[in-house]
Amino acid sequence: MIMRKSTSMILAIVMTAGTAAVARAGAPFDDRPGAHWDVMGGLSEPVGTTGDYLQGGYAIGGGLTFVPSESSPLDWRFDLDYRDHNASSRLIALGQQSTNIEIDGGTGQIWSFSGNATYHVPIAYGVRAYAIAGVGVYHTRIELTQTVPFYGGYYYCDPFWGYCDGGYGYGNAVVISHDLTKFGWNAGGGVEFALPSGASWFIEARFHRISASTPVEFVPIEVGYRF
């Protein structure tokens, strides 16, 4: 619930700031044919059954957008993305039951490479909405860990007495892990704002679904920069 409220607030703030910035700049989009780089980052919210096992996390990524012609509203976009989530208390409890080993943490990491089509619709000078959808390959890794002490957390030598000593530190030992590589699809939309430099920035939300016996579903909400 807190994650969803934070996401809504971020969307409202970014949209308001973006509209004001475009009103001042009045910049056109750079729709010259060719490739444009994209970088993006934001929040990632698990949905459906996935929300029972993973908490909200973060997302980062980048890629290339190919513009076929100035008159075409359709672009092609290829993304490489990473999302990181902490394990929920329910997943930790299930891991302890299956291993009979104490578990106090865990993560869910998702890599993806996708090919997408984007369709633009102008809504004002220097502002346009777009729909995006595509398919890709997704790699998911779940790790459940236990915090354990290890010798060598620090090491100290007294130069006067010639006495050296070490101590204990703490680290995470992987108790159980699971890797899954599957195809998936995504669909969503966003709003893009032109900048005077010829670049642009955008905010978008996409629903992702990884095809598996228990589908993995999540919705990243990201702010990006295209140049």
pLDDT (tens digit per residue) in 138-151:
999 999 999 877 65
Q: Locate the domains of the chain by residue range.
A: 2-137+182-226
With CA atoms as reference, report the closest residue to 226 among 208, 204, 211, 205: 204
What pLDDT, on the 0 to 100 scale, is given for residue 172?
A: 75
Q: Is 108 helix (H, G, I), strand (E, B) or coil?
A: strand
Per DSSP, the residues of 124-173 read ETTEEEEEEEEEEEEEEEEEEEEEEEEEEEEEEEETTTTEEEEEEEEEEE
Fold of 2-137+182-226: Porin (2.40.160)
Residues 6+ apart with CB under 8 A from 8: none
pLDDT tier, 156 (very low <50, low <70, confident <90, very high otherwise): low
Compute the average pLDDT of residues 213-227: 96
35: phi > 0 → left, psi -120 to 50 → alpha, else beta; which?
Answer: beta
Specify whether the CB–CB gap between 220 and 206 falls below 8 A.
yes
0.85 surpassed by pTM: no
Specify whether the CB–CB gap between 82 and 67 falls below 8 A.
no
Residues 6+ apart with CB under 8 A from 209: 184, 185, 186, 215, 216, 217
79/136 Cα distance (integer angstroms):
9
200/206 Cα distance (integer angstroms):
19
Q: Is 112 helix (H, G, I), strand (E, B) or coil?
A: strand
> pLDDT tens-digit profile of 13-47?
444 444 444 434 446 887 788 999 999 999 999 99
Q: What are phi and psi of 17, to 5 degrees?
A: -65, -40
> pLDDT tens-digit profile of 184-217?
999 999 999 999 888 999 999 999 999 999 999 9
> pLDDT tens-digit profile of 48-87?
999 999 999 999 999 999 999 888 899 999 999 999 999 9
**Residue 107: how many CA atoms within 13 Å on its side-chain side?**
11
- Provide the token pair at 88: 């929920």
